Chains A and B, each alone.
Chain A
Amino acid sequence: QKEVEQNSGPLSVPEGAIASLNCTYSDRGSQSFFWYRQYSGKSPELIMFIYSNGDKEDGRFTAQLNKASQYVSLLIRDSQPSDSATYLCAVNPGSGTYKYIFGTGTRLKVLA
C-alpha cells in the first residue's frame, strides 16, 4: 500500500515566522511531488511541484525534496494570516500514471 503521511496539525505559527510543513512517502520509486493549498470550502490550488533532490524556491515558498530519506517539505517564509489553510502533499508514483497519492493534509494557522 503506497502511502503519503502528513501531520494533521494544526500547526500554529506567528505572523512573519517561517512555517515548515513535512510529508513522507512510502514508494521509493515516486517521481514527482506536489504541494497544494486548500482553503475551507474551496478546491485545492497548486503551489509548487518538485522533481529533483534539493530545494526549489518560488517567492515565499520553498519546496525541499530528499528522495533518499523519502520526504518532501514546504517552507513558507514571512507567513501571513492569509496563508492559514490546509496544505496537501501529493505524490505521483511514476510508471506513466497521472494519478496522485494524497496525504491527509496539514492545517496551518498563522496568528496575527
Chain B
Amino acid sequence: GAVVSQHPSWVICKSGTSVKIECRSLDFQATTMFWYRQFPKQSLMLMATSNEGSKATYEQGVEKDKFLINHASLTLSTLTVTSAHPEDSSFYICSASDISGLYEQYFGPGTRLTVT
C-alpha cells in the first residue's frame, strides 16, 4: 500500500518551454501533497505544499508564477514549470500524506528534468 506515482520519470525540454509533472496517490487519498526539488548531492528542498481544492502554499524564495501547482483531487497534484531555464534542471519529487494516516509522507519516484 501507500504508492505514489509520478509522470514522466524524466523529461528533456528546450529553454522557454513549459513542462507539466503529475503526481498521483494510487491506493490512498492524499490530504496534502508536497513538491520537493533536489540538486545533485544536496538535501531535499521543499518547494510547496498543496491541499486538494485550495491554493498551494509556497516556501520562501520559490516563484509561484514559475512553478504552478494544481491539486484538483485527493489523488492528483500537478506541477508545471513555466518558461523553463537550464537552472531549473533538477530532480523533482512529490510526496503525499494519507488522509487516514498520521503525518507519514510517501514519496513518488521523482522526475528528472533537463532543460537545454
Interface residues of A (CB under 8 A from B): 31-32, 34, 36, 41-46, 49, 51, 88, 90, 92, 98-100, 102, 104-105
Set A31, A43, A105: member contacting B110, Cβ < 8 A: A43
Q: Which residues on A sit within 8 Å (CB–CB) of B32? A: 98
Output the least CB separation between B39 and chain A (Å): 12
17 contacts between A and B (CB under 8 A): A32-B102, A36-B107, A41-B91, A42-B109, A42-B110, A43-B93, A43-B108, A43-B110, A44-B44, A46-B106, A49-B103, A88-B44, A98-B31, A98-B34, A98-B97, A99-B49, A102-B43
CB-CB nearest 3 A-B residue pairs: A43-B110, A98-B32, A43-B107
Interface residues on B, range: 20 to 34
Q: Which residues on A sit within 8 Å (CB–CB) of B109? A: 42-43
Interface residues of B (CB under 8 A from A): 2, 31-32, 34, 43-44, 46, 49, 91, 93, 97, 102-110
> When the two chains form their complex, are residues B43 and A100 in contact, meaning their CB atoms are under 8 A apart?
no
Complexed CA–CA distance, A105 and B102 (Å):
23
> When the two chains form their complex, are residues B107 and A31 in contact, meaning their CB atoms are under 8 A apart?
no
Q: Which residues on A sit within 8 Å (CB–CB) of B108? A: 43
